[in-house]
Amino acid sequence: MKKVLAVNSGSSSFKYKLFSLDNEEVIASGMADRVGLPGSVFTMTLADGSQHDEENDIATQEEAVQKLLNWLKEYNVIDSLDDIAGVGHRVVAGGEEFTDSTIITKDNLWKIYNISDYASLHNPAEADGIYAFMKVLPNVPEVAVFDTSFHQTLDPVQYLYSVPYKYYEKFRARKYGAHGTSARYVSRRTADLLNKPVEDLKMVICHLGSGASVTAIKDGKSFDTSMGFSPVAGITMSTRSGDVDPSLLQFIMKKGDIGSFNEVIKMLNTESGLLGLSGVSPDMRDIEKAIKNGDQQAKLTKDVFINRIVRYIGAYMTEMGGLDVLVFTAGIGEHDASVRKQIMDGLTWLGLKYDEDANKANREGKITTPDSKIDAMIVPTNEELMIARDVVRLAKLDK
């Protein structure tokens, strides 16, 4: 039985899921962590629920890939390397170079390295991960799946910034968005659940996790999205600020005696959002515990989080000329009923009526009443499955 690997690489780690080509079931998943660092950990969970882990130094990504393949054989997940029909890799930034997922060649791999300016923390590590798999599995097709490619359907009205046009012409400085692989999967899954063509739905997807974004889907395509040139823009996130007036940053640098803009960017990415506002935690669950204990700053933090989401939903409804379905996905979106309730409370004036019990159940499907003018739904994301499907499509494994 042929199988497809979906991989998400970091600078010293990679997460993986192995799918059966026949039924799209996950038959093994896990990660290699702290690769090249002391205390490396390798984990694997099998379809029967059994778990395996080992703490033993792993010097390189290539060594980690080899360990993965050895474990797949050791635990009888594969009979031989020939069972692996393809490998798909999440890549954050494709720039304007990649408007779709692509089969990786040496030229394409260098292109991923060369557009690292668009995602300097991500693209080099992801390209390194692809190279490691190419060395260990030289005869297996490797596919790159870009978070930005789904948003290449944005009109220039949506993606251009109001700065001198020469910077777009020279450097392709524009909005690229992120979470595109998630939005692509969730939009199609939502349409399937509603038994309607995705092209007939005006949809807003709230991808609310550690990273968070709001995406408008119209005619089955990305119409607008809250993340910008980088993932720091848009709504409030766990540690990212979301939208900020650039002049405020200049003011903070001067008043705070901050020496470099790189320090400010780090602050916006790692010290802001829920963590920076609350002083409690980047985790919404901790924020909500603090609220129950009477922490007013935590309450304000959650209110800001909700406000920014509702603001974007309202803007996108206006841009699209209406809304058929509001979708919640990712960690907070799928599991936090109180966040969903507060967001939907801001939309009841439009005729959205939610079902309290359905909302609290945290299950896939509608959470609105039959007479609601706008559907609201929980739809769990599955980026890894989308990656695996792209491998099948591009490597023509279904032939």
pLDDT at position 399 is: 58
Residue 283 in marked binding region: yes
Packing angle between helix 123-136 and helix 106-114, nearest 10 degrees? Answer: 160
Pairwise CA distance, residues 252 & 354, whole Å: 42
pTM over 0.95? The answer is no
Lowest mean pLDDT among 125-134, 266-275, 338-347, 381-390: 125-134
The span from the CA of 33 to the CA of 38, in Å, is 10
CATH number (2.60.40.1220, 3.30.450.20, 3.30.420.40, 3.40.50.720) of 3-146 reads 3.30.420.40
pLDDT band for position 154 (50/70/90)?
Answer: very high
Q: What's the distance, CA 255 to chain centroid?
A: 35
Q: Is 151 annotated as a binding residue?
A: no
Please state, in angstroms and rounded to a whole number, the distance separating the CA atoms of residues 298 and 293.
10
Q: Is 207 annotated as a binding residue?
A: yes
For 380-390, b/e burial (b = at least 16 CB within 10 A) is: bbbbbbbbbbb
Which segment of 36-50, 193-207, 293-307, 314-328 scores lowest on mean pLDDT? Answer: 36-50
Q: What is the pLDDT of residue 247?
A: 94
Query: What's the mean pLDDT in 132-148?
Result: 90
What are the b/e assignments for 215-239, b being 16+ CB within 10 Å? bbbbebbbbbbbbbbbbbbbbbbbb
Contact 223, 397 (CB under 8 A): no
Chain segment 12-70, per-residue pLDDT in tens: 778 899 999 888 999 999 988 888 888 888 899 999 999 999 888 888 888 888 889 98
Average pLDDT for 130-151: 90
Answer yes or no: is 15 a known binding residue: yes
* Residue ranges of the chain assigned to CATH 3.30.420.40: 3-146, 197-383
What 3-state class would DSSP assign to 37?
coil
| Residue 334 marked in a binding site | yes
Q: What is the 3-state secondary structure (H, E, C) of 361-388?
A: HCCCEECECCCCCCEEEECCCCHHHHHH
Average pLDDT over the chain reads: 92
Is 162 marked as binding a ligand? no
Residues 6+ apart with CB under 8 A from 137: 65, 69, 81, 84, 87
Asked if residue 344 belongs to a known ligand binding site, the reply is no
pLDDT at site 22: 84
Strands 325-329, 375-378: pairing is: parallel
Q: Between the CA of residue 61 and those of 13, 83, 134, 383, what are the distances in Å?
A: 8, 21, 11, 22
pLDDT score for 135 = 87
Would you say residue 10 has pLDDT above 80?
no
Interatomic CA distance for residues 330 and 170, integer angstroms: 36
SS3 state at 277: helix
CA dihedral 239, 240, 241, 245 (to 10 degrees): 150
Average pLDDT over residues 344-349: 95
Sheet order of strands, 14-20 included: 51-55, 41-46, 26-33, 14-20, 3-9, 84-91, 142-146, 102-103
Is 335 assigned to a binding site?
A: yes
pLDDT computed for residue 330 by the predictor? 93
Q: Which two tokens stand for residue 211?
A: 């990273």
Per residue in 234-286, pLDDT (tens digit) is 999 999 999 999 999 999 999 988 889 889 989 998 999 999 999 999 999 99
Q: Is 36 within any annotated ligand binding site? A: no
Name the band, by pLDDT with cuts 50, 70 and 90, for residue 11.
low
Distance of alpha carbon 208 from alpha carbon 17, whole angstroms: 22
Report the pLDDT value the prediction gives residue 213, as an integer from 0 to 100. 96
**Tokens 């969903």 identify what position?**
340
pLDDT score at 275: 95
Is position 332 annotated in a ligand binding site?
yes
Query: Does 209 appear as a known binding residue?
Result: yes
What average pLDDT score do residues 340-344 get?
A: 97
Does residue 141 register a pLDDT over 70? Answer: yes
Mean pLDDT of 310-326: 97
Catalytic annotation, residues: 147
Following DSSP, what letter does each residue of 105-117 receive, concatenated? -HHHHHHHHHTGG
Q: What kind of fold does domain 197-383 have according to CATH?
A: Nucleotidyltransferase; domain 5 (3.30.420)
Ligand-binding site membership of 90 (annotated) = yes
Give the span between the Cα atoms of 337 and 335, in whole angstroms: 6
The model's pLDDT over 211-240, given as tens digits with 9 standing for 90+, comes to 999 999 999 999 999 999 988 999 999 999
| Residue in 108, 241, 238, 94 with CA at minimum distance from that of residue 178 | 94
Q: Confidence band (pLDDT; 50, 70, 90) for 127? A: confident
pLDDT at 120: 74
